Amino acid sequence: MAVLKIREYPDPVLRQKSRRVVAWDEPLEVLIRDLTETLYEVPGLGLAAVQVGVPLRLFLYDMNIQDKKGKPGLTILINPEITASEGEVREEEGCLSLPEYRELVTRASRVEVKALDRKGKEIRVTGEGLLARLIQHEIDHLNGVLMLDRLSSLKRALFTKKLKKRLKQHEMDLALR
């Protein structure tokens, strides 16, 4: 097992639409184990395969991750599809691929999802509140959509300006070494 590198915006892999998983084999199991290890090493609740550079329709999450005393509650969703959604809520969101950035994002307040588990068996998940937000966020990743795409053009422009400034500072720091 390995902790994988999280790809950060503007890495082009984050804009790829992920391919469906078609084989339940050892490489898939290795990916799931590596994603799991990575999830438990980063400050997040969920992780999509594309965020580590593997554009497959797969993500996992653990809603108990913040409670270190709680039992692990890892859920793996392969080829997920939102089958129903309702309501609307606007809350703050962050993303491992957009480090140190949080913003208000509008999402459905409740979603129902159909997916496959790590053995290829169909499962259904209903999420409300934070779980609904997480599911929608991770499925967006599988579709090449970032939370930036759900912001106003003004908010996106402000983010881009901050990013360019941060990248320029990083280049200057490297030049001084």
Is 138 tagged catalytic? Answer: yes
Cα–Cα distances (Å) from 47 to 43, 51, 116, 124, 136, in that order, read: 10, 7, 16, 19, 12
Q: Residue for token digits 């490297």?
A: 174
Task: Return the closest-CA partner of residue 8 out of 118, 94, 126.
Answer: 94
Task: Provide CB contacts within 8 A for 164, sequence distance 6+.
Answer: none
Contact 103, 155 (CB under 8 A): yes
Contact 114, 81 (CB under 8 A): yes
> H/E element holding 156?
helix 153-176
Of 8, 81, 112, 138, which residue is the catalytic one?
138
Secondary structure letter of residue 109 according to DSSP: S
Upper half-sphere CA count for residue 56 (Cβ side, 13 Å): 19
Which residues are identified as catalytic? 138
